[in-house]
Amino acid sequence: MKVNCPTCEKSVTYSTDNPYRPFCSERCKLIDLGEWASEGYKVPVEPTLDDYSSGMDPNEFEHTPTRH
């Protein structure tokens, strides 16, 4: 099966023969990891009642995926 590398969009074969899947290379895999580590990517969350009752600021929650 062919997929696009999430980092550079290059078409790659999604296979166990590719140790970097779904990425095309170690470089693209590390770029993606760096984005997560630097909080360039965020997973959207919805606040729960527990979050409000714990005193957390509801404005701290991300409601849509963002990339800085």
Lowest mean pLDDT among 17-21, 25-29, 40-44, 59-63: 59-63
Q: pTM of the prediction?
A: 0.62
- Domain 1-37 adopts which CATH fold? Erythroid Transcription Factor GATA-1; Chain A (3.30.50)
- Of 26, 60, 25, the residue nearest 46 (C-alpha): 60
- Would you kindly state where each structural domain of the chain is located, as residue ranges? 1-37, 43-68
- Which is it for the CA torsion 15, 16, 17, 22, positive or negative? positive
Lowest mean pLDDT among 13-17, 50-54, 58-62: 58-62
Neighbours of 12 (CB within 10 A): 20
Residue 32 phi/psi, 5° resolution?
A: -60, -45
DSSP state of 67: B
Q: Report the chain's mean pLDDT, rounded to a whole number.
A: 83
Tokens describing residue 58: 């509801």
The pLDDT of residue 51 is 65
For 5-30, how does the pLDDT look when each residue is reduced to its tens digit (9 = 90+)?
999 999 999 999 999 999 999 999 99
